[in-house]
Structure 1
Amino acid sequence: MGLVGLEVVLWRAVAVYRFVALGYAAVLMVNNYHSYTRPWLGWTVLAVMAVWSIVATYTYGRADLRGWPLLIADLLVTMGCLIASHWVVTEASLRRGSATLPMVWVAAVVAAWSFSGGRWRGVIAALFISGADLWLRGSVTMATVNATVLLLLTGFILGYVVSLALDAEEQLQRATKLEAATKERERLARGIHDSVLQVLAIISKRGAELGGEAAELGRLAGEQEVTLRALVSVAPPPTASGQADLRERLRPFASAQVQIASPATVVPLPAEVADELAAAVNSALDNVRVHGGPQTRAWVLLEDEGDSVTVTIRDNGPGFPNGRLAQAAQEGRLGVAQSIVGRLRDIGGSASVTSHDGTEVELRVPR
């Protein structure tokens, strides 16, 4: 049952409660109408409750109508039916704690407010209903205290439980989608591994053996094999707490030209942060491949410093002159500014790029 399905079930439960409570109010009316000062008004209120129960069932059943206008209208109708007891039930009976005209029917609006906005919204509705009931009774009695406490508990507990249920349902949906996507990626990875990657590996090996132009072709095939292997590699999914091991996110970048050094223990980070940090590392390595040439090597160092995580990418390429990055940004080439510096800034981290006997990129993310 999906998230939408759960909401439908909850609102159907409120609708069922309205009609069951309406039936109970009708039974009380049949038993007590002879003692009412204005029986005709009592029957009128009962008819209004019946009509509103039908209207509320239809409107709350549509997600596009469950806004403040409906919630306020529901509260006003409920309070009106409750306050109408003042002109139907004798004052002495009300002071003794006798039943009002709607009785437990008033709890439906508290449940509706709780389902629509959580426990605190349910508490607000309960306070309005309790205030109207206190005005009817004219004084604080054990009956008014019990009614108020029950309504407040209903609003708070229902809102809390519903919030937990909806959150759990949403997390289950995300986990189901992630599992399906992971399985599909694993299936594609197996197919690519059995065909494309093996062909590229053979070309790379044979090209190196033949030498000459074939060696260059073999080198290019080897680079593409590494890139494709990184793309189809399946990173472990986040844990139940949403944490991911950054080491596993960086492992696919290792190749003959890229060496990765990382701690022996897990380096946990929120999954979204780990993904963005790994993407920034990949961008830095792309720059090494594009600007450094085929002989350039790179070293990636991952350090877990407790309160922060640092990834350093160094290469032995030609580097770049001072001011080159600023000039590139002014010319509209924002590769480093957006894919590396911008990524780290968006996740609350920092990035620095320096050039001296090669290029060094330092990425730091606080915990």
Structure 2
Amino acid sequence: MAGRERVLRMSVELPLWRALAGYRVLTMLYALGLCVTTYDQFTRPWIAIGYDAVLAVWTLATLPRVRGAASCTKGFLAADLTIALAGVLLTAFADSHQRIAGGPTLPTIWTGGAVLAFAVKGGWRWAAVASTVVAAANLVERGQLARDTLHSLILVWVASIGIGYVVEVARVSERTLARALEIQAATRERERLARDIHDSVLQVLAMVKRRGTALGGEAAELGRLAGEQEVALRTLVAGGLLPV
């Protein structure tokens, strides 16, 4: 159990969750900054401002949710992806067709964080599903498959699946290491108990030998047999046939 706890404390997932939390905050700030600097270019700026306000509140309020796998529930992932998809689809209502064709969506690269959360939580299969859904939403919002859009979607798809695969491999390795540490600890405990038992048995045999020799008669024969067993047991221990 102690070995498993050590493995959990040094889990490779912890840095990934911290990086994900930082990514979400930084990309949220980027989306806000982009919205503010291009405010006058939106056809319906109030949609952009309203969505980015919701995005900021959601990102900050849900930071505790991306601290680890236990707090990052399926319900949170679904809601998080919904926020991202809503921003992608609302872009068509907030901006002109000309800007949509070559410009970013309302959540911009924050959407990648929602997909990466699926990857870190559930592995590459979850990441593949989430990135595919995001890709479909982007295609609906754009209305066409432009080269830049395709490149961005492929990048998110490959990166999220790659990270998800690495997470799965790391989890298997951690479980294997934890099991090995448990076996090692159990083996050491068995060896310690064996040494204690051997020492106790040797002491008893030595005492029987001394008492039998002192009493004489049949007790002396019993003492002689105990002495032979003591010598045999010490030979086994010294020869490495028993744990020492």
Calculate the TM-score normalised by the size of structure 1.
0.54
Assess, with a 3 A threshold, how the Cα gap between structure 1 residues 114 and 210 changes in structure 2: closer, same or farther.
Answer: farther
Call closer, same or farther: CA 1:126–1:210 in 2, change over 3 Å.
Answer: farther
Structure 1 match to 2:136: 131
The 5-angstrom pairing of residues 345-356 of structure 1 reads: none
Q: Alpha-carbon deviations, 1:261-319, whole Å to 9, x = none?
A: xxxxxxxxxxxxxxxxxxxxxxxxxxxxxxxxxxxxxxxxxxxxxxxxxxxxxxxxxxx
Q: 1:27 aligns with which of 9, 20, 33?
A: 33
For residues 165 and 63 of structure 1, do their structure 2 counterparts lie closer, same or farther at Cα, with a shift above 3 Å needed?
closer
Unpaired runs of 5+ residues, structure 2, are 1-5
Normalized per residue, which structure has more strand? Answer: 1
Which one-letter code corresponds to 1:182 in the other structure?
T
Equivalent residue number for residue 82 of structure 1: 88
After superposition, what is the alpha-carbon deviation per residue over 1:125-176, rounded to whole angstroms, capped at 9, x for unaligned? 0001110001111011112211221111122101011112222233333333
1:143 and 2:148 equivalent? Answer: yes
The answer to which structure, 1 or 2, has the higher relative contact order (CA under 8 A, 6+ apart) is: 2
1:110 counterpart SS class:
helix
Cα deviation code 1:205-238 (max 9, x no counterpart): 898x9768965xx69x96xx98xx99x9559xxx
Is residue 2:206 matched to residue 1:199? no
* Structure 2 residue 45 is matched with structure 1 residue 39: yes
Deviations 1:60-91 (A, max 9, x none): 33654433211111111111111111111211
Please list, as runs of the form range in 1=range in 2, the aligned pairs for 1:63-74 lying within 5 A after superposition: 63-74=69-80
TM-score (normalizing by structure 2): 0.78
Per the alignment, residue 3 of structure 2 pairs with: none
Q: Figure out how many residues of one structure are paired with residues of the other and give that number.
A: 226
Cα distance change on mapping 1:210 and 1:31 into 2, 3 Å? farther
In structure 2, what is the Cα distance between the partners aligned to 1:183 and 1:14? 40
Contact 2:69 2:121 in 1 (8 A): no
Asked if the contact 1:114/1:159 (under 8 Å) is kept, the reply is: yes
Secondary structure of the residue aligned to 2:38 is: helix
- CA distance, structure 1, for counterparts of residue 90 and residue 28 of structure 2: 16
How far, CA to CA, are the matches of 2:64 and 2:161 in structure 1? 25
Matches within 5 A, 1:1-367: 2-3=7-8, 6=11, 7-61=13-67, 63-95=69-101, 97-193=102-198, 195-199=199-203, 201-202=205-206, 233-234=242-243
CA contact (8 A) 2:65 2:71 kept: yes
1-structure distance, mates of 2:44, 2:183: 63
SS at match of 2:104: coil
Contact 1:182 1:234 in 2 (8 A): no
Alignment check: 8 A CA contact 1:15 1:56 kept? no
In structure 2, distance between residues paired with 1:124 and 1:27? 30
Sequence identity percentage: 30
User: RMSD value over aligned CA atoms?
Assistant: 3.4
| Cα distance between partner residues in 2 of 1:119 and 1:108 | 15
Q: Which has the higher helix share?
A: 2
Q: Tell me the distance in 2 between the aligned counterparts of 1:169 and 1:123.
A: 23
- Describe the shift of the 1:74–1:205 C-alpha distance in structure 2 as closer, same or farther (beyond 3 A): same
